[in-house]
Chain A
Amino acid sequence: MSTTMKPSLIAATVAALVISAGVARAVEQPFDQIQGGRYQAVLGDCAGCHTAPGGKPYAGGVALQTPFGTLVAPNITPDRETGIGAWSEEDFRRALKQGIGHGGERLYPAMPYPAYTKMTDSDVAALWAYFQTIEPVSNEVHSNQLPFPFNIRLLMAGWNWLNFTPGEFKADPNKSDQWNRGAYLVEGAGHCSVCHAPKSALGADKGAMTGTVLQGWFAPNITGNLHDGVGQWSVDDIVAYLKTGVGRGSVGSGPMREVIENSTSKMNDADLKAIAVYLKDLPGGEGKGPAPVAKDSPAMQTGARIYAVNCSACHNGDGSGQVNLFPKLAGNSVVQQGDPTSLIHVVLAGSQGAATDAQPTTPAMPSLAWRLTDQQVADVLTYIRNSWGNAAPPVAPDAVRKLRDSTKGGS
């Protein structure tokens, strides 16, 4: 008994010492700055990667599947051995704004320093102050699980030379303060482009946020494009979506669910409005959809029957959905993305909506993979994407097959 007790007692004592050290440091920081830093952590959704499900806050452990291999988000609690407790504030700033770690090592841009570089020094200082106050957790994380040659961090020096423009956000004097605040949040801490901008072969953002595939989902076009962007969304629609998870008949799900739950639902209304104003103003193509697929085509005819049997009970025969519960399909920009990956994903694997204080329902779409063939999924989606005024390219059964193979065993 005593032999098993000892190590845990020692661990407890060490933990107590470290906690008291953390608290002692915390009291030296001004309260407002720490609160501001907490909000910066919300804006940057640090928890999204650095807090593992069910784990201690910011103790790391979320594995990120990149096209180049697996990276695990490190422990960023102020633990000296396994976290960032031995870092200086300058180390922290360099990591966020230049992608260079405590020991001079190059960070991978899965840590979105190409976006965080736009943050002001005072916001970074506040974030640093906040991180000094969180509970230090001893949790060793091996971040770099990439295969050779990507596991060579020095390669990132070359990557940066090609893809990385360091430097703080510069306001556009021709735009309003609100627009500029939105731009600062979207391009900086919010790092929206990491998911929503197409990527180069090297994984760098390429162009406007017109949408791209990641982790089996298509992060949609969030430019002001009137067809498949947020051009038709009002500012209030966008604010409601980001704040509550439900807006303009859409329910946030997929990877955006976590972003809403951890980050945007906790942002203040002024910032959400600023983000909406900025996004709506972003150019993103001509804003016209393709000609809808002809109603009498075989895919549309079959799709209509599959829709009536499988979908209409919740989404209604006219695609109008139900308020706060079942997404509206008619006129929904997310349904009309050029790339149907997210729709296929939802039909095959099901999906659950984001849970927020304002919208706690978390309605879920059941998995229909066991029930519908690749051809049937393709046909019903072609039908949904081209009915009730919608227009989008038809869905190919092959695209369904590929996603079915990659989502087997879970969503």
Chain B
Amino acid sequence: MARKLPRKDVVIVGLGWTGAILAHELTDAGLDVVAIERGPWRDTATDFNIGYMPDELRYAVRRDLFLQPAQEAITMRNNVSETALPMRDYGSFLPGTGVGGAGVHWNGHTWRFDPADFQLKTHLTERYGAERIADLQVEDWGVTYDEMENAYDRFEYLCGISGKAGNLGGNIQDGGNPFEGARKREYPLPPMKMTYAPTLFAQAAKSLGLHPFPTPSANLSKPYVNPLGIGMGECTYCGFCERFGCANYSKSSAQTTILPVLMRKSNFEARCNSEVMQVNLDPSGKMAKSVTYVDSSGVEWEQPAEMVLLCAYGLHNARLMMLSNIGKIYDPQTGEGTVGRNYCYQTNAGMQLFFDDKNFNPFIAAGACGQTVDDFNGDHFDHGPVDFVGGAGINCIPTNGRPIGFRPVPPGTPRWGSEWKKATKDNYLKSFAFSSQGSSYAARGNYLDLDPTYKDRFGRPLLRMTFDFPDNDIRMSHWVSDRMEEIAKALNPKKYVSGKRNKSWNSVPYQSTHNTGGATMGANPKTSAVNKYLQSWDVPNVFVIGASAFQQNAGKNPTGTVGALAFHAADAIRNQYLRNPGAPLVQA
């Protein structure tokens, strides 16, 4: 029997990027907020100590900061004809845990999605006809890019993103991304200093008539003081971003941009090492009354609240809704139900280049220090002559030259022994890679639900992931790989190796922690779990905030859009919901 605690105005599940933004905004509005986080408290000097933070074995190989399958596993299968089995280790994607969430150990690529991404169904239907997307389940998000522009801006200025605008108020800017949506002002900081490999990549891309530009980065090019008054440091290009916390206050995260202010507020409280079991609904099933959580001693608590915000990792948001009977779970046979619908991923492919006469010093790097070509992303080119929709950004972002993981050797090299050592020595300084990060468009058979067999340590059903790359996305990725080959040839390497994306999705090798959908946003409650303000259609005092809201994933990293959605939802709660709490902001 759970022990009942005094009521709060707001309970937030998960204290990562979205939880921290919502907590800051709603405490500013005067509400009494508690965030419940299943992982530990994490602080820069203590937990990302400069003395041991660059421990590749501990953090990159053993993945010290990540969610472990013993805490929560996921079962996977490629299609409904298979029986899903638990992933015994996270591999293809690595969800975070702890304060700051996956925002602690990200690389820092901070994008805006295209205007067309938010209205994809409408856009593609108008341009190419409904027939072209008949085998997909793409949807509109219920918001437009213009409605999101201010929220993007706020997230970028919160973080101190380093980049170059390509479209200021409709005027295309030299050196930026000419394909991006219009932004009202420049990035808060100039681009990072460019290392050698991306510089060569950009030259080659330009020679082909493409439009390379510096990748927008949450590794800071200069010292920065954000709008909350919090200071951040200049990046040292140490090459320990992804899978690591930043020791230098140089990578944007909840820790470096929000928590110092948030933790001083008397109307905020964070409870760590406490895992939320479920959201409890009142007898009508239409209002949330509390959450139940278990602390690190195994004691169960009930935290009543006027509002519940699900701010966990997107996959876990969807699962918590399912475990709490919020909304109806999606059924791929009937197409009914919305929770778990439109799970999408990322369709990536690689290109490795080997040179004889170059020295790239790969250890001088940062997670988002590089160059991007966006010419083949989204709908930036005419898809009339091709047999797919969507596209990919081509990114040359050498994130690190770390001693264990970064061992580029040509195909055919033995996996160990003296020949491998020699090949490592010959190629370590003389190789670099670039890759395509492709869109992942929703398909009827790709979805999330609860596993009928496997349970977690508390006896709750695991999340079941049913996913394979849609044929459309594979055709897209192959086409973009051909474009990458053209860039590779222009770079004139001794050798290049194209790593193409093929079916089926394999959960073992790392690919991307960009899992999207499952609690998607939209204007139609039959095809979305939350409305355009991230409010549950079914339980209006529950908001679900994160990449779970994406109707499909673009060929871009999701965090910029996740952060923007957090500000977008916070505005709706502050300016609309609180005037009439408990009421739906959009009539179904």
Residues of A within 8 A of B (CB): 310, 313-314, 322-326, 350, 352, 355, 357-368, 370-371
Contact = CB atoms under 8 A, between A and B. Distances in A.
5 contacts: A325-B249, A360-B260, A366-B45, A366-B46, A366-B49
Contacts of B232: 325
B260 A362 contact: yes
Interface in B74-127: none
Nearest to B264: A355
A310 B51 contact: yes
Given A357-B229, A359-B231, A360-B229, 9 more contacts: A313-B248, A323-B223, A323-B225, A325-B223, A325-B233, A325-B249, A360-B261, A361-B260, A366-B51
A324 B44 contact: no
A368 to B, nearest CB: 6
A352 to B, nearest CB: 7
Interface string B209-233: 0000000000000010100111111
For the complex, would chain A's binding face be called helix, strand, loop or mixed by DSSP majority? loop
A357 to B, nearest CB: 8
Contacts, number: 65
Nearest to A368: B51
- Which A-B residue pairs are the 3 nearest by beta carbons? A364-B45, A324-B231, A366-B49
A367 B238 CA distance: 20
B43 interface: yes
A358 B260 CA distance: 12
Interface of B: 43-46, 49-51, 223, 225, 228-234, 236, 238, 247-249, 260-261, 264
A324 B232 CA distance: 8
Contact of A323 (B49, B230, B231): B231
B548 to A, nearest CB: 31
B45 A350 contact: yes
Nearest to A324: B231
A328 to B, nearest CB: 12
B212 to A, nearest CB: 29
A340 B576 CA distance: 57
B236 A313 contact: yes
Contacts of B49: 366-367
Contacts of B264: 355, 360
B50 A325 contact: no
Nearest to B231: A324
Contacts of A361: 229-231, 249, 260
Contacts of A363: 44-45, 231, 249
Given A361-B260, A370-B51, A324 B225 contact: yes
Contacts of B260: 355, 360-362
Contact of A314 (B46, B230, B233, B261): B233
B50 A310 contact: yes
Nearest to A314: B248
Nearest to A311: B50
Contacts of B230: 360-361
Contacts of B45: 350, 352, 363-366
B225 A314 contact: no
A361 B229 CA distance: 7
Contact of B229 (A359, A364, A366, A367): A359
Nearest to B52: A371
Contacts of B236: 313
A364 B44 contact: yes
Contact of A322 (B234, B238, B247): B234
